[in-house]
Amino acid sequence: MSTEQQNRPESRPSADSIRQKTSVISSLRKNSQSIRQALAFVGVGAIAFGALIWIFLRGLEGPAFIVVGVGFGLLAIDAIISLATVRQAVFGRRGRYGFNTAIVFIAFLAIAVIVNFALFQALDRPNPAGWLRIDTTATKQFLLEEQVVNTLGNLKEPVKITAFFVTNTAADAAAWRDTQDMLSEFRRRSSVYDLSFELVDPDLNPNVATALGVTRFPALAIEGVESRRTEIVVGGNPGDGPDVFTEQQVVTGLLVINQIAQKMVAFITGHSERDVTDPVGSTGLGLAGAALGRENYIVLVETLQELGTRMTLGDPQQIPAVIVFAGPVQELLPIDQQALLTYARSGGSILFMFEPDETPDTFKQFLSRYAVSIGDGEAADIASFVAP
């Protein structure tokens, strides 16, 4: 055939004939290297992505496991396609060294998993050892206050807490996670009786909320398992932040169902004392009052006449454990002195805090009954003094 005949259009092969000669299997074989690399890359990426979902997104454990399973499936397909390469890598000279390295790595990983599982089981038990859990935050936000731990140690029966949350929004889900962490810490630190909790969606189970008398959400129904006493604690708005419940709210509910009395601290007013309800003023004692509240004390602000009324009722539960005079500058009235004497003679505790050179004479006279004298001037504790 001449060159001229070969160059004729009818003598040239068509595109369809070329496609027919190249089968799908042949194309896959030619591009097997790229396919294997793509499968390996996508498989490893899926495993990493699923692990990140499992670690950082609570409530999505199921989808995370599915993504990880897809990743392992892609790696398995890649291994089947590359069976010859895998066989050479495992049973060849280099493979033997790699196999030994893999065994060492797997053994190390298994030991790490076992140690982590053992620590998790130890931490998940009630009242775990203190050295197992260390809170490195400045405010110790992951540990309970000592007063809270003492309250848990004084429980008289097992306690069940039913948490009513609607978790269909991001804010609600975040609020439940925060509450779940706090209740988990309560459960761990309850060493005498079991403290359990569960989540109930009031939209899906309205009968449970109705049976416990819960009408507002989010809420905690704290119930004594034996006595069946129940205290309802209503939380804040999840839209304002995830911390919708505080430790003090839960502890107060525990005290109510276990009939444990809270101690009262009364800050006396009526003589120009400092304000315990003012947390920002330069002369306020609001931070001290808030600290007492966190320690589960009932903080009262009363006059001595109101204290005298409490004394006449004769109910020990209504009498403050201690009364505080925070910098009085006005004199005591005769009726005030009588109420103060009655309280002191009944065994009450009194804390006086005076400003230098501003102590009213009637307070000095009252303290002289107990051989206490208030001098003039100032005294400085140099060892404990902190320079401004």
More confident residue, 31 or 44: 44
Extract the tokens encoding 239: 């839209």
The architecture (CATH level 2) of 146-257 comes to: 3-Layer(aba) Sandwich (3.40)
Task: Give the residue among 166, 184, 189 at the shortest CA–CA distance from 176.
Answer: 166
Task: Give the residue among 317, 387, 381, 325 at the shortest CA–CA distance from 358.
Answer: 325
In percent, how much of the chain has pLDDT > 70?
78
Task: Give the residue among 271, 277, 251 at the shortest CA–CA distance from 262.
Answer: 251
Checking DSSP bridges between strand 230-234 and strand 219-224, what pairing results, if any? Answer: antiparallel
387 burial type by CB count under 10 A (0-12 exposed, 13-18 middle, 19+ buried) = exposed
Rounded distance, CA 309 to CA 318, Å? 10
More confident residue, 384 or 388: 384
Checking DSSP bridges between strand 322-326 and strand 349-353, what pairing results, if any? Answer: parallel
When mean pLDDT is compared across 286-300, 302-316, 373-387, the lowest value belongs to 373-387
Q: Kind and range of the H or E element at 233?
A: strand 230-234
pLDDT digits over 140-191, tens only?
556 677 777 888 888 888 899 999 998 888 888 888 988 988 888 888 888 7
Judge whether residue 357 has pLDDT over 60: yes
Q: Is the Cβ–Cβ distance between 256 and 304 less than 8 Å?
A: no
Rounded distance, CA 117 to CA 133, Å? 15
Judge whether residue 130 has pLDDT over 60: no
Judge whether residue 213 has pLDDT over 80: yes
Query: What does the DSSP assignment read for 322-350?
Result: EEEEES--SPPPHHHHHHHHHHHHTT-EE
- Give whichever of 1-5, 105-109, 215-219 has the largest mean pLDDT: 215-219
pLDDT of residue 352: 92
Q: Is the Cβ–Cβ distance between 290 and 233 less than 8 Å?
A: no
pLDDT of residue 92: 62
Which distant-in-sequence residues (6+ apart) come within 8 Å of 283 by Cβ?
274, 275, 327
Judge whether residue 13 has pLDDT over 60: no
pLDDT of residue 140: 58
CA torsion through residues 39, 42, 48, 53, sign: negative
In percent, how much of the chain has pLDDT > 90?
7
pTM confidence score: 0.50
Q: Kind and range of the H or E element at 17?
A: helix 15-21
pLDDT of residue 142: 61
pLDDT of residue 136: 59
